[in-house]
Amino acid sequence: MANRALNLLRASTTVVPITTRRSSFLSPNIWSPRTVEVKQRRSKRSYSTSSLEPPDVSRLAETARISLSPEEVEEFGPKIRQVIDWFGKLQDVDLQSVEPAIRADTEGDNIRDDIPETFPNREAIIATIPNFEDSYIKVPKVLNKE
Amino acid sequence: MALTFFRGVQTRPLLSYPSIYFALRKHNVSYCNMQNTQLETTERQEGQLKGSTREIHSKPHDKLLKDFEAVIGIETHVQLSTQTKAFCSCPYNYGAAPNTSICPVCMGLPGALPVLNSKVIEAAVKVGLALNCSLSLDSKFDRKQYFYPDLPKGYQISQFDVPIASSGSLDVDLPVEYGGGHRRFGITRVHMEEDAGKLLHTGSGNYSQVDLNRAGVPLLEIVSEPDMRTGIEAAEYAAEIQRLVRYLDVSNGNMQEGSLRCDVNISVRPTGQQEFGTKVEIKNLNSFSSVSRAIDYEISRQVDLHTQGLADQIVQETRLWEEGSQKTITMRKKEGLADYRYFPEPDLPGVTLSEEYINSIGSSLPELPETKRRRYENMGLSMQDVLFLANDITVAKFFDATIAGGADVKLAANWIMGDIAAYMKNAKVSISDIKLSSEELCELIASIKGGTISGKMGKEILFELMAKGGTVKGLIKDKDLVQIVDPVEIEKIVDKVLADNPKQLEQYRGGKTKLQGFFAGQVMKESKGKANPKLLNQILLQKLNATS
């Protein structure tokens, strides 16, 4: 797990010439200090997690479509923070002499030929759909995204 | 989970488009009559063009338009015509019964893993090369997360910070009716991704229906630089993308079926202003003429707001083009940046391309539309001819085959653009549906040029060939259409006609020389239309003017 995470982190630090980019993966109000900080990290190559701001748990819950009570928000904040700090230790690894990789190494390409194959047990999939009617999946009326 | 966060922190943001600004030119800004353009493709329905001559907005004053600049960029989604979906082996057929082409992978069931279809990479490399892009030897897939009922997994597999191709260009020839001209538009990037399912909104009832057949079908997203200035330029850019993917045979490019979808980004600002205007996105454009008309409408709308001092009413939003009212309407306002929380797709390895692979694809690329047009132009064809012939790959192939058989270039172009095109339009068929082969057209042209048959007879034969098939030689024989080119034969007929019409002959010789036409007609009639007209006139004149 940690190795994989390490790879991802390596990757991200090298793929991205960070100077002009603003963080938008996560919106600024979740991880606001990124812009400046990532830039510094990049140039110094010394990583530290101590400056991470506490996560905005309410917003994280919203983006994940999870309902949390205010008590839960209180409770989860420090826990999430703990996990992040734990993974944050990876930032201490010296990557000065490490070649960048954008993905974890895998053995060869894993691609397939373009040959159609019908999945045999589609009925079982359909059977698990909570609301299926007239060949369609029935969902609450939606007109707009977001 | 925590990995997600870390990754998120350090990767790059949503693409922001560099912008290029330009002045609107007054002659083609606000009115758009698409009736004569070459933009339509062969499968376009006649009815679609009806009503397109309608004026789309209150007439903006040229002066006002000159005071503003517009910026237009286009995002195009091209559905690849692979046999299977992008990450699973489900077959995809447009129009299949709903929710029949599904499996655990495209339904996003737990434990199911995606495996990339090799054809998707091939198509992406083809398009990337054809668009003069730089290809990434190492790219990867990312997850774009959002919640919507047409997206079973809760994320779309896409490419984010490392697209497979970037920094290219596309050459376009504007339609002659709009003043023509050649343009080169920048291509920001091309990336691979999967389509979502289809949502149907029932007229009544408070529910929507989802068909997931399309979920997971491979797409290429092609993002242009904001290099376009007018609706015509944008429509022609889109038409060229369609031509390109059809030439490359990676997609059917059919807009009605949604295999080619264009989203337009457009902003307007007062000329000379440094900051960009507020960008509006227009969706629901399902024909090239709607691309053009929607843009011209939107420019007018934004310029009007500017001139009324209401520029602050232009907000960043997504607008829908309404074909019925010929207007754009608000679909949704954007509140801040969408938060897609991209991170690398952990279920898929990176996408690596070898130089050999790229070279082998590069050397197998067909002649592209732009190259074809320049070649036709160099053959001496007019721009009108060039654009017509190169517009549709099947027509271009037919033309190429005809001239490869030795047919005169201009004559071949004339037949294809004239009688053949008219026939196709009438019968609503494509050139591959007609029974005429390029070999027979070649033969027909040669037969006329060689004098075996007249042009008029050629026409007659042509329609028979298109409708029923057969060969030129066979039809000439069957119909006894061989032109009479033997002067002795023609002389005989002339003599007979003169003998049959002594009165008229006398009048002619008395000075009524207009009667030459009468005699020519009689001779032609006598020969059942087969006399070579040139010889006929020559001999007739000789005889008429003979002293005795």
> Is B91 part of the contact surface with chain A (CB cutoff 8 Å)?
yes
Write out chain A residues lying below 8 Å of B206, CB-based.
140-141
Out of B21-25, B130-134, B334-338, pick the least confident. B21-25
Q: Which residues of A48-57 are buried (b: 16+ CB within 10 A; e: fewer)?
A: ebeebeebbb
Task: Output the pLDDT for position A136.
Answer: 95
* Nearest chain A residue (CA) to B209: A138
| Mean pLDDT of the residues in chain B | 85
Task: Output the pLDDT for position B355.
Answer: 96
Q: Which two structure tokens, joined as six digits, stand for B366?
A: 């067909």
Smallest Cα distance from A97 to chain B, Å = 20
Write out chain B residues lying below 8 Å of A22, CB-based.
13
| Residues of chain B numbered 474-513 and touching chain A (CB < 8 Å) | none
Task: Output the pLDDT for position B51.
Answer: 36
Q: Coil, strand or helix: which one is B99? A: coil
Write out chain A residues lying below 8 Å of B336, CB-based.
27
Between CA A100 and CA B368 the distance in angstroms is 37
> Is B205 part of the contact surface with chain A (CB cutoff 8 Å)?
yes
Write out chain A residues lying below 8 Å of B166, CB-based.
none
Q: For residue range B267-311, what is the model confidence (pLDDT) as tens digits?
A: 998 888 878 889 999 988 989 999 999 999 999 999 999 889 888
Which of A80, A113, A137 is the mutation pick for testing B, counting most B CBs within 10 A? A137
| Cβ separation A12–B7 shorter than 8 A | yes
> Is B14 part of the contact surface with chain A (CB cutoff 8 Å)?
yes
Average pLDDT over residues B312-316: 90
Pairing mode of beta strands B134-135, B165-173: antiparallel
- Written in H, E and C, the secondary structure of B196-238 is CCEEEECCCCCEEEEECCCCCCEEEEEEECCCECCHHHHHHHH
> Is B212 part of the contact surface with chain A (CB cutoff 8 Å)?
yes
| Residues of chain B numbered 338-377 and touching chain A (CB < 8 Å) | 338-344, 346, 348-350, 352
| Cβ separation A63–B341 shorter than 8 A | yes
Write out chain B residues lying below 8 Å of A7, CB-based.
none
Share of chain A above pLDDT 70, in %: 56
| Cβ separation A113–B118 shorter than 8 A | yes
> Is B204 part of the contact surface with chain A (CB cutoff 8 Å)?
no
Out of B42-51, B108-117, B128-137, B386-395, pick the least confident. B42-51
Write out chain B residues lying below 8 Å of A32, CB-based.
none
In Å, what is the CA distance from A116 to each residue of A73, B22, B539? Answer: 47, 48, 71
* Nearest chain A residue (CA) to B120: A114
Task: Output the pLDDT for position A22.
Answer: 34
From B333, B355, B435, select the one nearest B138 (Cα to Cα).
Answer: B355
| Cβ separation B7–A21 shorter than 8 A | no
* Nearest chain A residue (CA) to B205: A141
Higher-pLDDT residue of A63 and B417 is B417
Out of A20-24, B59-63, B109-113, pick the least confident. A20-24
Write out chain A residues lying below 8 Å of B91, CB-based.
116-118
- In DSSP notation, B320-334 reads EEETTTTEEEEEEE-
Q: For residue range B379-413, what is the model confidence (pLDDT) as tens digits?
A: 999 999 999 999 999 999 999 999 999 999 999 99
| Cβ separation B162–A15 shorter than 8 A | yes
> What is the band of B54 on the pLDDT scale with cuts at 50, 70, 90?
very low
Task: Output the pLDDT for position A143.
Answer: 63
Out of B170-174, B357-361, B483-487, B540-544, pick the least confident. B483-487
* Nearest chain B residue (CA) to A80: B2
> What is the band of B466 on the pLDDT scale with cuts at 50, 70, 90?
very high
Smallest Cα distance from B163 to chain A, Å = 12
pTM: 0.77
Q: Which residues of B223-239 are buried (b: 16+ CB within 10 A; e: fewer)?
A: bbbbbbbbbbbbbbbbb
Strand order in the sheet with B343-344: B155-158, B142-145, B343-344
Quickly count helices (H) and strands (E) in chain B. Answer: 19, 17
Q: For residue range B4-48, what is the model confidence (pLDDT) as tens digits?
A: 333 333 333 333 333 333 333 333 333 333 333 333 333 333 333
Say how many residues make up chain A.
146
| Cβ separation B209–A138 shorter than 8 A | yes
* Nearest chain A residue (CA) to B201: A141
Task: Say what the ipTM of the complex is.
Answer: 0.75
Tell me which H or E stretch contains A40.
helix A34-44
> Would you tell me how many other CB atoms lie within 10 Å of the CB of residue B157?
21
> Is B99 part of the contact surface with chain A (CB cutoff 8 Å)?
yes
Flag whether pLDDT at A48 surpasses 70: no
- In DSSP notation, B259-314 reads SEEEEEEEEEEETT-SSPPPPEEEEEE-SHHHHHHHHHHHHHHHHHHHHTT-GGG-
Smallest Cα distance from A95 to chain B, Å = 15
Task: Output the pLDDT for position B184.
Answer: 97
Q: Report how far Cα B21 is from the mean position of its chain's Cα atoms.
A: 26
Between CA A13 and CA A4 the distance in angstroms is 14
* Nearest chain A residue (CA) to B144: A25
The answer for residues whose C-beta is within 8 angstroms of residue A75's C-beta and 6 or more apart is none
> Which one of A12, A136, A146 has the shortest CB-CB distance to B98?
A136
Size of interface A-B (CB pairs under 8 A): 195
Write out chain A residues lying below 8 Å of B145, CB-based.
63
Q: Which residues of B517-541 are buried (b: 16+ CB within 10 A; e: fewer)?
A: eebbebbbebbeebbbeebbbebbe
| Cβ separation B201–A145 shorter than 8 A | no
Residue type, B224: S
Q: Which two structure tokens, joined as six digits, stand for B180?
A: 């023509």
- The residues facing B219 across adjacent strands are B79, B193
Flag whether pLDDT at B415 surpasses 70: yes
| Extents of the domains making up chain B | 2-40+53-353, 365-478, 487-545
Q: Coil, strand or helix: which one is A70? A: helix
| Cβ separation A5–B207 shorter than 8 A | no
Write out chain B residues lying below 8 Å of A116, CB-based.
83-84, 89-91
Write the class of the CATH domain B487-545.
Answer: mainly alpha
